[in-house]
Amino acid sequence: MAKLNSILDNDFYKFTMQFAVSKMFPRAQARYQFINRGQHQFPEGFDHRLRTAIHELAKLKLTKAEKEFLRIRCPYMDPTYLDFLAGYRYDPDEVQVEQSGGELSVSIEGYWYRTILWEVPIMSLICELFYESSEQPRISNDAVREVAKEKMAKYDRLDITVADFGTRRRHSYEVHDQVIRTLKHQPSKTFIGTSNVHFAMKYETTPIGTHAHEWFMFHAAKYGYKMANLLGLEHWSDVYRGDLGIALSDTYTTEVFFKQFDKKLSKLFDGVRHDSGDPVTFAAMTIAHYQQQGIDPLSKTIVFSDSLHYDKVENIVHFCKGKIGYSFGIGTDFTNDVGLPRMNIVLKMVEAKPEDGEWTDVIKLSDERGKHTGNPSEIAIAKQILKIED
């Protein structure tokens, strides 16, 4: 049965955000909700299997070797945080799992600094348990490695850098392990690391990540939509002092983001991450923004991470080459290409409660028009405040 064997089997940006949250917002609370975008139907008893797997997570703890890995590879995380993480344990009471017919409900509530680690492990468990329950045979491990090798051979020819971002919707731990092992042993320098901290340690590569949409969503709940991007980035730079300098741009649309991404922040951050909307349009906007700020776009990097596959990457490279730096975070196309339909699920923050504040709906306004997520009335308010038209 699916289970996790390491507390570091999670995306790096969950730990980097946890560190920042514990320093800046230790009394903030959060609620998360599972969203079944693919309308997958879960078999009878799936909720029991998932609950059992979630309770197993409570047994995980940071080992001395894992703590030493973080100390060496992440010097911007101070010793007090590493000591905290060594004492951290998942609390299954923070998670509620229910099932009605084929519909699955998962909700999380608690202090933000604690609940922030749940999203990625629960999503990966849902995926693995779903495939186990369906009993549909996947391709062999040899075939998994061959597929990964063939993909990297094509990416090698593009002369780019690629990282694995595939933990959340992977087919299984075993498939993920086979993929990372294959990428690590490629003779090229194309593969530069993984968002999964456990595999970064296991295969002696770089853990990659900065922050996610929830960082800015919380800032909107605390400070308002007009200040969310600006204060989110200011607070990030206050914590990391120039490290982890790729800014996520599309929480409230990239157009709004660039209005607040002033010359100071544009110079301070190493680049931006693209996660929704047309990537070429985004690249053109980013290049124009840096030029308007008097900054050479070639001194900056765009990290592309939205549903990437080879043809999409090739198109991006052809546009960006010689204009701006670029790198790629590839997720499901690496870790769930096993001959079965891929799952389309997310687990998002839906409400936040700042210290001395009230529970507030949080939303995301995607660059893909009409695909905003969250409470419709709150979306309408945010669009009006930010003057966004679909």
Average pLDDT of span 355-367: 95
Containing 334, the helix (H) or strand (E) segment is helix 332-335
* pLDDT at residue 1 is higher than 80: no
Secondary structure of residue 45 in the 3-state scheme: coil
Count CB-CB contacts under 10 A for residue 314.
14
Percent of the chain whose predicted confidence (pLDDT) is above 70: 99
Average pLDDT of span 78-105: 98
Query: Where is average pLDDT lowest: 134-138, 197-201, 275-279, 381-385?
Result: 134-138
pLDDT digits (tens, 9 = 90+) for 52-79: 999 999 999 999 999 999 999 999 999 9
For the chain, the farthest-separated pair of C-alpha atoms sits apart, in whole angstroms, at: 59
Count CB-CB contacts under 10 A for residue 133.
15
For residue 225, what pLDDT is reported? 98
Question: Which token pair is 140?
Answer: 């062999």
For residue 159, what pLDDT is reported? 95
Helices (H) and strands (E) in the chain, counts: 17, 12
For residue 5, what pLDDT is reported? 95
Q: How confident is the model at residue 372 (pLDDT cuts 50, 70, 90)?
A: confident
* pLDDT at residue 315 is higher than 90: yes
For residue 369, what pLDDT is reported? 74
Residue 80 CB contacts under 8 Å (≥ 6 apart), including other chains: none
Average pLDDT of span 256-281: 97
- At 33, give phi and psi (nearest 5°): -140, 140
Question: Which token pair is 91?
Answer: 């609390």
pLDDT digits (tens, 9 = 90+) for 336-352: 999 999 999 999 999 99
For residue 370, what pLDDT is reported? 67
pTM of the predicted protein model: 0.97
Domains in the chain (CATH in brackets) are 12-137+341-366 (3.20.140.10), 141-335 (3.20.140.10)
| DSSP conformation letters of 137-186 | ----HHHHHHHHHHHHHHHHHTT--EEE--STT-S-HHHHHHHHHHHHT-
Count CB-CB contacts under 10 A for residue 253.
23
Containing 230, the helix (H) or strand (E) segment is helix 225-240
For residue 389, what pLDDT is reported? 83
Q: Distance (Å, rounded) from C-alpha 213 to C-alpha 232? A: 10
Question: Which token pair is 58?
Answer: 């409570």
Q: Distance (Å, rounded) from C-alpha 145 to C-alpha 30? A: 39
For residue 137, what pLDDT is reported? 95
For residue 67, what pLDDT is reported? 98
* pLDDT at residue 45 is higher than 80: yes
Is 37:140 a contact under the CB 8 Å cutoff? no
Q: How confident is the model at residue 371 (pLDDT cuts 50, 70, 90)?
A: confident
To the nearest 10°, report the CA torsion of 132, 136, 140, 146: -100
Please, what is the average pLDDT of the chain?
Answer: 97
Length, in residues, of the chain = 390
* pLDDT at residue 158 is higher than 70: yes
Question: Which token pair is 204?
Answer: 């002696």
* pLDDT at residue 305 is higher than 70: yes
